């Protein structure tokens, strides 16, 4: 079983933020702590997120935090 499938299965094939059904062909596996901030590719640092709105919102939040220097 591939990593993204294991991560999705561990979360019941649901978005970790909103609970929407996660679909492999549409949605994302996200790093909880981004690699650039010291996160890893370990499955404990991965979560399924629906592409819209959850992954888009998380990406925007991370970009805003980088811009503000956090």
Distance between the two ends of the chain, CA-based, in angstroms?
A: 36
Pairwise CA distance, residues 42 & 28, whole Å: 16
Question: Which is it for the CA torsion 23, 11, 8, 39, positive or negative?
Answer: positive
> For the segment 4-23, what is each residue's pLDDT rounded down to a tens digit?
999 999 999 999 999 999 99
Burial of 4-30, coded b for 16+ CB within 10 Å and e otherwise, reads beebbeebeeebbbeebebeeeebbbb
**pLDDT tens digit string along 40-61?**
999 999 999 999 999 999 999 9
CB 30 within 8 A of CB 57: no
């Amino acid at each position: 079983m591939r990593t993204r499938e294991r991560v999705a299965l561990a979360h019941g094939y649901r978005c970790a933020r909103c609970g929407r059904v996660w679909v492999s062909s549409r949605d994302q596996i996200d790093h909880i702590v981004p690699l650039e901030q010291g996160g890893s590719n370990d499955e404990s640092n991965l979560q399924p997120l629906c592409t819209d709105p959850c992954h888009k919102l998380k990406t925007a939040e991370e970009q805003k935090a980088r811009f503000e220097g956090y």
